[in-house]
A and B are shown apart, each in its own frame.
Chain A
């Protein structure tokens, strides 16, 4: 167990393509940090740099007290769970779990003890003598996890481990990973592009975009107080409505409040828009489409004078029908102000 420290870490590929811009991040001992961002934001590259599978152009990465920049992956004492699991197809599940321990010269009885323990925790004992191809996706995922935990490494690195599973299994495994990580208390870095997975798993969330960190914090902090337009749009589903002030002013008239200087975009979470009347910016529009999700309904509303469609979330069933007129209010307390130029939050 150990903390992971990244100081001024950069990655420049041949041909001067910068994948990671000087980046600082400290991950505390036992913490589960999720790196989240769209494809190509550098989150996987960063994880692979921590693992030692990619070289580091600049800066230092330390695991525990050691600077590991020049160390081979094997010497960093980390374990990684790959997106495609990377199970050795010609070895049985047991051999897959043993491989890393054997390579490190662990005594036979210790290997057996750890493998059996890991198999028990992950409930894969019945499959120990099968080959990976005889297992289902979820079982393979467990074996991949098992291969990580038998090693008892300083840190776990997860590279989108759930993205090959179906939605239901993904939900189950998400909970299991969380539970496992809490009980083992092993420092973990988890990469995903799924913001729901990120929100639910993370002790701390790192939102990345274009090789830079946009914001770091507890998931709920990021949800409540996104530091930039990017985070505002990325965290939360359905995404935050981001509306230009200029257009709002023209249609909201007298209900438009005075906002801090430099604010030219306001954002509001779809579930905080109030249908009907009340205090705040009063708007009205036509319902284009209703998505009944079950517990709640998503209303896509077209407002005269605004370029984009607004998304409203109503608890339970929608109170209006498609093509109906709807009046709604954006409460002032729920508004997030952003500056378009800098892309940053204005308070």
Chain B
């Protein structure tokens, strides 16, 4: 790709211009991340009075702790469910909106609203809808003989956070899918129509393969989202309960560190999560971007 070169009058100016972003990144991201790595090798008492180096102790303990291993499985389920649901629905919506000629913009705008809602508010919103005593959904589910109670039933709680987290992510996926669909040349669709492919076949044999770069990108982004950005949704709805049923990895970092005051173990968990993101990102940049060429 050609990039335009800008010549600055003095050598200091470009550094000055990127300084605010650099400072923010260092103070709020790099430094805390470094601290987390450091404290994952240390044992600290709750009051921060004494600290001792323990090596890989926290990591070794984590992989023997059934709670942690259960949380890994739970997180995988949660991440996959949210990714599949939110991407699937977003694709359906994008295809529908892409067919519209005039009302498309209006629908796109409305479909983007959930993305503007903060995670906590989104969580509370679904918590109200699913509330076992006042919510509208449990009331309706009762007609089907289903006694909804996410405060007691772990499966119900998991469904609640999956729904809430997916709902928020649909907007983002929708936007990317719509842009992807609009970049598929109309003449390919027309050529396929003349070649005797019906609308359904055209979508799966022409449009969907051409969307694969978008799909791969969104898959990585969504996995990252469910791993990290869903703290607000979980905290506002189930707070990890009942009985750990919705205690995902990122929420466990918080409960073990801030509530349990086990800073060493919490740090070790966040370092593992961080490694996971790094791996996903490397996959995205190295493997996926190359493979998806067509």
Contacts and interface: CB of A to CB of B under 8 A. Distances in A.
Interface of A: 51-53, 72-74, 78-80, 82-84, 86, 88-90, 99-100, 103-104, 131, 133, 147, 151
A72 B197 CA distance: 10
Give the interface SS of chain B, mostly helix, strand, loop or mixed: helix
A82 B195 contact: no
A51 B209 contact: no
Contacts of A73: 190, 193-194
Give the interface SS of chain A, mostly helix, strand, loop or mixed: loop
B188 interface: yes
B48 interface: no
Given A90-B209, A90-B210, A90-B294, A82 B187 contact: yes
B109 to A, nearest CB: 23
Contacts of A103: 195-197, 201
B195 to A, nearest CB: 4
B227 to A, nearest CB: 30
Interface of B: 185, 187-188, 190-198, 201, 205-206, 209-210, 212, 294
Contacts of B206: 88
Nearest to B199: A72
Residue of B195, B198, B206 contacting most chain A CB atoms (<10 Å): B195
Nearest to A90: B294
Given A79-B194, A80-B194, A131 B187 contact: no
B289 to A, nearest CB: 16
Contact of A86 (B190, B212, B294): B190
A88 B188 contact: yes
A48 to B, nearest CB: 8
Contacts, number: 60
B265 to A, nearest CB: 47
12 contacts: A51-B194, A73-B190, A73-B194, A74-B196, A79-B194, A80-B190, A83-B187, A90-B212, A103-B195, A104-B196, A147-B191, A151-B195
A90 B192 CA distance: 13
Contacts of B188: 86, 88
B188 to A, nearest CB: 5
A162 to B, nearest CB: 16
Given A86-B187, A90-B210, 9 more contacts: A51-B190, A51-B194, A73-B193, A82-B191, A90-B209, A99-B192, A103-B196, A147-B191, A147-B195
B240 to A, nearest CB: 44
The 10 closest A-B pairs by CB, nearest first: A100-B195, A103-B196, A86-B191, A86-B187, A90-B294, A74-B196, A90-B209, A73-B194, A73-B193, A82-B187
Contact of A53 (B193, B196, B197): B193
A74 B190 CA distance: 10
